[in-house]
Amino acid sequence: MAYDRPDAPETDVNAGPAPDLAASNRDAPSRAPTPDASAPAAITLDHVSKQFARFPALRDVALAVQPGELLAVVGPSGSGKTTLLRLIAGLEFPDQGRILFGDEDVTLAKASDRRVGFVFQQYALFKHMSVARNVAFGLDVRRRDRPNRKHRDARVAELLKLVELEGLAKRYPMQLSGGQRQRVALARALAVSPRVLLLDEPFGALDATVRKSLRRELRRIHDATQVTTVFITHDQEEALELADRVVVLNQGRIEQVGVPEEILSRPATAFVAGFVGQANVFDGEVRAEVFEAAGMRLPAEGVADGPAQAYIRADQFALGDAANEDGGGLEVLVRRAPPCTGLVRLEVDLEGRLFEAALPRREGFATPAAGDRLRLKVVGGRVFSSPA
């Protein structure tokens, strides 16, 4: 598996403290995109466009979010990620196109009528309310079926247990750490049994260690509640690790939608290869579906003859053997070799050009040090025609 799922789902459901949550979503198929084409998507964006002043935020975006899936929207800042999320939530309205929840057209429905859970980047907790009141807010403002106090308190306790904040019900947001606020925001959004949970850069404001553990938390909570979830991030690693499927957005357009494995190994566009794979770019030439550049040769199926660029991820290099390498291999000088675990990450210098190579650790093989000369071979990568 290309990405890490720290908790197995079956243990989660049992351990999950939210039987009612699980029950309310029982009809949802268990995680992952369903191949069942007859079931309507949880959310459908039907060729949606949105323009702010003169700047187009989204251009003709078509996307179907499957029931119960955890979908990541990834892209650089200004790519329209937040706009996409706000359109789904009903905090903005599209200029063109339709938005459907299941079969229901919600294009013009108000945010308060959509029953979405929205976790804001800065959490937007109600500062003057305790944690418990924050979580209960969505239940307290109901005009129909407002639960009585006992039910409400039970629900709040259940949600706080789900996000592991049982002891903090009476605290105020200002007394909580960033990670705790994030959990409160999540519990508050889940309280309304949302049809879809939307998270705007859920880990953006947290430090690295908290991010890691909260990522796992989000996956666990998602598996326990089975609620259809869309989160946006500018961190491609986060998207690949966490999501069932990833949408790559660039300049308001969808570049690719796919499972993380597919996005990483078969990037549809040069942008995806560069942004998600953080690939190194090598200029060369394609002739008869073979890419050639100094020291390397790659298959380039379906790429027209002419100038082209190879996108090669750091982990798509290996130590080469001068004698029998295809294309001769790359003669590089190791500039930096920081200590690390897992792959050996090196900053290498190819005739004045620096890039990163991550080589598998091999037994009985001395880790390269700065100043060493190595020969690298290219063991993967994607070729795209050079932009005109």
Q: What residues make contact with another protein under the rule CB under 8 A?
A: 89-91, 110-118, 120, 122, 124-130, 137-138, 140-143, 170-175, 188-189, 191-192
Q: Which run of H or E residues covers position 15?
A: helix 9-15
Give whichever of 110 and 149 is closer to another protein, judged by the CB atom.
Answer: 110
CB of residue 86 to another protein, shortest distance in Å? 9
CB of residue 220 to another protein, shortest distance in Å? 23
Long-range contacts of 355-359 (CB under 8 A, 24+ apart): 355/280, 355/314, 356/280, 356/314, 357/314, 357/317, 357/332, 358/314, 358/315, 358/317, 359/317, 359/318, 359/319
CA distance 347 to 376: 12
Give whichever of 196 and 376 is closer to another protein, judged by the CB atom.
Answer: 196
Give whichever of 89 and 383 is closer to another protein, judged by the CB atom.
Answer: 89
CB of residue 138 to another protein, shortest distance in Å? 4
Give whichever of 170 and 362 is closer to another protein, judged by the CB atom.
Answer: 170
CB of residue 87 to another protein, shortest distance in Å? 13
CB of residue 122 to another protein, shortest distance in Å? 6
CB of residue 132 to another protein, shortest distance in Å? 11
Q: Are the C-beta atoms of residues 311 and 267 closer than 8 Å to each other?
A: yes
Q: Which run of H or E residues covers position 86?
A: helix 81-89
Q: Which run of H or E residues covers position 23?
A: helix 19-24
Residue 82 Cα distances to 69, 138, 201, 320, 364, angstroms: 19, 23, 9, 44, 49
**Which residues make Cβ contacts (< 8 Å) with residue 366, sequence separation at least 6?**
none
Give whichever of 89 and 270 is closer to another protein, judged by the CB atom.
Answer: 89
CA distance 46 to 375: 50
Give whichever of 132 and 254 is closer to another protein, judged by the CB atom.
Answer: 132
